[in-house]
Structure 1
């Protein structure tokens, strides 16, 4: 399996190099040169498999011979054995044909654990094999940071620097990052927003001279292909649990950076019958405005009750644009250069092709709270604000009620108690036992100005072998 850049100018790489590289040298994102395709008969034969067994079948073609099959199976068994539910990604029924897939049963209570628990093990394996040290630099709007730290904190060959927007993540999200002890763990609170943090990460990958040539950066954000690869699996899991592949499924996905829903798009291209993908966003609705009106235009970022989606520049959207433009890297590069200057659109026939699969909705804070309250009143079931946006968007955009609609439950409600309280629900969501003392743990983080030179200087000074 070889991987190519969405901007067409970087060399093709194998899995190991893509794992460690993050952004391509031309500024693009890596995607497989070709996708594996599974027949309905093959998918049907996977019914009854454990989650880790299913994960092996779906992901092994992407890893290919970079990791021996037995080693990869062991890695997957270890990854998903730490989840708190035997099904790993259990389904909860809300209505007659409406479901939530709980993706928050991992150690940091968010869907990012599915990929980042695996990514830590992949990095350990490859870096030990190469006797190489790397510096992880990542940006988080709330959940990626804690999942990355938890997944990578035991890696012997890694230093971790996670940037988060100062005072713009929930207290639980912040403490999950800043209370983890380890000499190789560094949390940086940037006086800015998530897009500022993400921009610093991208620019740093493009020019790593501040590291003095002594090490290289590795990515944990969803620009890293391994993140996308791991997220494809639970689309297959949900479908098989509800009668797939002999019936089609619809999914509603709360998304800011487009990685999670892009994984669903890939699942469909790999042979899984999916009839609809709903892009569920908050007031930071650049994806909704594009999908509903073919206009890609950045607005001012707003702070909402769903901070993990407070994103205006959706990195993984580039991967979809690459496909929509017939995998023409130069066309994607030109489009994104123009998008940095002002609003852009794509050819109408390309946009209409995307609309055959995708719908979208933007849900404000009031509707988010209304949905949390309504679902709790109807089912005594508590949603976090991001999942609530997914449920509301699913109900607003649903095309066919005979098709199961599955909303991806992206985070545990205990991570967002303020949003739950604002909804009027009087039940306070409780942290699980392994986090019961979270508010008593000592925090460690450094507040820095929204200045890339200062952030890079901090990293250069604090990584292990500096």
Structure 2
């Protein structure tokens, strides 16, 4: 497997080198030179596999520099039912990502794929638990250390910290927007006392945190001296891990490869749905990939109009689905690379324009930057938007009609999914998190608290350890250097 940068850097690193390095040296994101294809015969064989064995089969197409016996062992270490043990009533924990049918009438079928049975109650565990094991494995092979600098709008941070806590040779420095996560999300991260975990509350929004992480990754001398890696979805290994549950969802929802399904994905940073795009490019029979946004609707605007217009920090809304409070979708570059026929020169020019002018226009109108928006339809994308009132109404609707409590982000997904149903095609909504993580809104919608899994009853009362810092890359870099000992 050969990899390329979306911005044209000439080096072709291995999967393990990309795993530890994150961004390409030119600031681009890595993708396979060619997407590996999955045949109908393979899909038939995969229908009976456990989640761990399915993960191995998908991963082996990308991580070709890791011995297959080691890769299989890592998949089984990650996706054992003992790790994914927070199954709800009616779920089979051994299925890891079980499906639950919400609606099946008038030729429409709406299904929820549970992705939040991991240790931090969010879908980010699905990739992050694997990433932690891959990091530890790759570092042990090299006798090396890694200092991870990441950014989170809520769930990535806790998933990364729980996956990396206690891992040999790894420190985690996690940036989050100060006072802009839910109380549960904040406590889940800041209550960790492990000596290799450092929480930094940045005075700004998530996009400020993400910009700092990218600035650090693009300072190649500093990155090398401080042995910097990343766990954000700019890390290719994390996206690959997410590809697996698209295959799992499809195989569980269908009886034959002649059938298609669609997926609706709550999205802010485009990482989760980017994995769906990759699965589709590999040959998975996906009809539509529906992007569900909240009030921060940069992605919805693009898929409706062809204009990608990032918002300034002051224009980014703080919403009740805070993990999607993102106005600069870092993974979007991977899709644009494919949309532009893998023209790395144009991709670099467009994303330079994002930094300098705030966006680009692919409508083909006079003065635009291209006419590729007309080709978006062949990739199956659609989109929609959900507001606070919408998610309250959806949470109530799902509870009253199906007896299921969903979190705010999943509610955004269900609302948009119901607007994009196609008769005869099953629509799968990817669950984002358990509702306990956003209890303030659940109480507003239903007049009661969300149920909490055992062990999380009083998490907000635990002692917290974190540093508040301004949104300045130099200050963060100095703090990281001070605590790495390098």
Common topology (TM > 0.5): yes
1:163-218 deviation line (CA, Å, top 9, x unaligned): 0000001111111111122111100000100000000000001115457x543110
Secondary structure class of the residue paired with 1:344: strand
| Alpha-carbon distance in structure 2 between the residues aligned to 1:342 and 1:154 | 40
Q: Deviations over 1:218-273 (max 9, x none)?
A: 01000000110000111111111111523000100001010110111111111110
Residue 394 of structure 2 corresponds to residue 371 of structure 1:
yes
1:87 corresponds to 2:95: yes
Q: Which residue matches 2:67?
A: 68
Measured in 2, the distance between the counterparts of 1:115 and 1:51 equals: 13
1:383 to 406, 426, 439: 406
Q: Which residue of 2 aligns with 1:411?
A: 433
Deviation of 1:92 after TM superposition, in Å, equals: 1.1
Distance in 2 (CA, whole Å) between partners of 1:246 and 1:440 is 52
1:226-375 residue pairs with structure 2 within 5 A?
A: 226-243=237-254, 244-299=256-311, 300-340=315-355, 341-346=357-362, 348=364, 350-356=372-378, 357-375=380-398
Q: For 1:25-36, what aligned pairs fall within 5 Å after superposition?
A: 25-36=25-36
Paired residue for 1:160? Answer: 172
Match of 2:147 among 107, 118, 135: 135
- Give deviations 1:120-177, integer Å, cap 9, x for gaps: 1101011011011111000000000000001111211111100000000111111111
2:186 equivalent in structure 1: 174
* Paired residues of 2:158 and 2:189 also in contact (CA < 8 A): yes
Corresponding residue for 1:220? 231
Per-residue CA deviations over 1:6-58 (Å, capped at 9, x if unaligned) read 00024111111100111111010011111110111210121121000111111
Question: What is the alpha-carbon distance in structure 1 between the residues aligned to residue 230 and residue 183 of structure 2?
Answer: 25
Structure 1: 5+ residue runs without aligned partners? none
Q: In 1, distance between residues paired with 2:221 and 2:475? A: 14
For the 8 Å contact 1:161–1:459, the answer to whether it is kept is yes
Which residue number in structure 2 is paired with residue 397 of structure 1?
Answer: 420
More off after superposition, 411-420 vs 4-13: 4-13
Give a deviation string over 1:404-432, Cα, whole Å, max 9, x none: 00000011100000111222x13421221
* Cα deviations by residue, 1:410-460 (Å, 9 ceiling, x for unpaired): 11100000111222x134212211323423322111111122221111111
Distance 1:214 1:354 in 2: 41
CA separation of 1:331 and 1:40: change in aligned 2, threshold 3 A: same
Distance 1:111 1:134 in 2: 24
Kindly tell me the number of residue pairs found equivalent between the two proteins. 461
Instruction: Give the Cα separation in 1 of the matches to 2:335 and 2:208.
Output: 23
**Aligned pairs for 1:97-116 within 5 A:** 97-116=109-128
Q: From the superposition, tell whether residues 342 and 190 of structure 1 become closer, same or farther in structure 2 (CA, over 3 Å).
A: closer
Normalised by the length of structure 1, the TM-score is 0.96
After TM superposition, the score normalised by the length of structure 2 is: 0.93
Shift of 1:72: 1.1
1:433 matches 2:454: yes
User: Could you tell me how far apart the structure 1 residues matched to 2:258 and 2:245 are?
Assistant: 17
Q: CA deviation at 1:397?
A: 2.2
**Alignment match, 2:88:** none
Q: Output the CA distance in 1 between the equivalents of 2:187 and 2:358.
A: 37
Measured in 1, the distance between the counterparts of 2:136 and 2:455 equals 25
8 Å CA contact 1:3–1:13 kept in 2: the answer is yes
Cα distance per residue 1:262-308 (max 9 Å; x no partner): 11111111111000010000011110101000111123111100000
- Measure, in 1, the Cα distance between the counterparts of 2:374 and 2:70: 43
Question: 1:281 touches 1:362 (CA, 8 Å); kept in 2?
Answer: yes
Q: What is the DSSP-based 3-state SS (H/G/I as helix, E as strand, rest coil) of the residue aligned with 2:464?
A: coil
- Whether the 8 Å contact between 1:40 and 1:272 is mirrored in structure 2 is no
Report the counterpart of residue 454 of structure 1 in structure 2.
475
**2 CA distance for matches of 1:140 and 1:215?**
21
Conservation of the 8 A alpha-carbon contact between 1:208 and 1:216: no
CA RMSD of aligned residues (A): 1.3
User: Distance in 2 between the 1:68 and 1:391 partners?
Assistant: 40
Moved more, 46-55 or 221-230: 46-55
Contact map agreement 1:291 1:355 (CA 8 A) in 2: no
Q: CA deviation at 1:377?
A: 0.8
